[in-house]
Amino acid sequence: MAFLVFDFFFWSQIELLKQVFTFQISFTEFYFQSYSFTTIYFFLPFFSFIVFLSCNIGRKNNFTLVDKLWSIITFASSVNLIVHDYLVYESISRKEIYLLALLAIWAWHLTVEYIRRGGLEPGHEDHRWPGVKSGKSNIQLFFFGIAFVAIWEPLMLVNITQPVSIILESRDKDAGVSDIFFLFAIAFFIYLERVFDDVQQNYQNAKRKYESLGEVTDEYTQDELERGFCTQGPFGFSRHPNFAAEQYIWLSLYLWGAYSSGRLINWSAIGTFSFLGFVYISAVHTEAHSSLKYPQYKLYQQSVAMLLPLPGYAWIEPVITKSKNQ
């Protein structure tokens, strides 16, 4: 029965999209008649189109725009869901305001982190893209740019906000104890992600300083800087603690929606678990690049857990041959 209801709901939303794109109904009628999440798919082609143009205009096979829009697409999707809820029901709850504020902080953090890594510098490209593009013809890259970069990634970025729709369905005006619990969980993982990113960025800054000026800062040894990758603090227990924190942000949002709806497995699992899988695959691809670049990285992989810290797995410095101030 649940499947039949979902099937009817799905086709009714497809029909609404068809009607608005063929000008049978106005956008206003579509917006107020459709489910909150359906409205996102009205705007999605716009994001996909500008990403597609960026891949093919100017520098060929330039996939960096989707990285720049990463947090913007997701935050814009969340804003649309809450605005739709407000316009249709003419009210907004405290938990919606708190949730939107948290997602704004998340988007701000990712944007700042992208800028800190040189994302806005001319010609910047994430270090993983050359590996992805290696060995592929221009025709292959053209279709990869359409299928993955212009369509799949923007779709994934809006779909991870699906649990927001589930949360809004509860129609609670005030934030209850359970809502506050999940809000604090999301805030905690956003904070952890910021801490982990700071640890990694501080190491990268010290490494660049050592490579350009030969100076060793007080926080690291020469061996640690010459190794090329961060093993300090949380990176001594997890190879990608910031990736893990990002996964837990969206898993917490999903569990909040599941609790609000009373359905542990619901349709928003599509977006959440697709994203969790994407983060895992991204980590695997990052490690393939790092293991080729850094001689000690395979030892690091054997010693430290990939995402979630595990008992008995921790980085131990092989041999310290130089003092920190040498």
The whole-angstrom separation of Cα 124 and Cα 155 is 24
Domain membership flag for residue 141: no
State mean pLDDT over 115-121: 87
- Top-confidence residue, 323 or 123: 123
Residue range(s) defining the domain that contains residue 321 = 176-326
Number of structural domains in the chain = 1
The pLDDT of residue 172: 66
pLDDT tens-digit readout, 258-267: 998 888 988 8
Domain membership flag for residue 290: yes
Alpha carbon distances (Å) from 125 to 173, 250, 284, 292: 44, 26, 19, 19
The H-or-E segment that residue 168 falls in is helix 162-169
Domain membership flag for residue 75: no
For 284, residues 6+ apart whose C-beta sits below 8 A from its C-beta are: none
Domain membership flag for residue 190: yes
DSSP 237-279: TBS-HHHHHHHHHHHHHHHHHHHHHT-SS-TTHHHHHHHHHHH
Out of 51-60, 65-74, 234-243, 274-283, least confident range: 51-60
Q: Examine the pLDDT at 4 and tell me if it is beyond 80.
A: no
For 162, residues 6+ apart whose C-beta sits below 8 A from its C-beta are: 37, 257, 267, 268, 270, 271, 272
Domain membership flag for residue 257: yes
Domain membership flag for residue 259: yes
Domain membership flag for residue 31: no
Closest CA to 71 of 109, 20, 29, 97: 109
Alpha carbon distances (Å) from 143 to 138, 149, 158: 9, 9, 22
The whole-angstrom separation of Cα 81 and Cα 41 is 11
Domain membership flag for residue 69: no
The pLDDT of residue 324: 46
Alpha carbon distances (Å) from 307 to 22, 230, 239, 279, 317: 47, 15, 6, 10, 20
Helix 94-116 / helix 70-89 crossing angle, nearest 10 deg: 170
State mean pLDDT over 175-199: 94
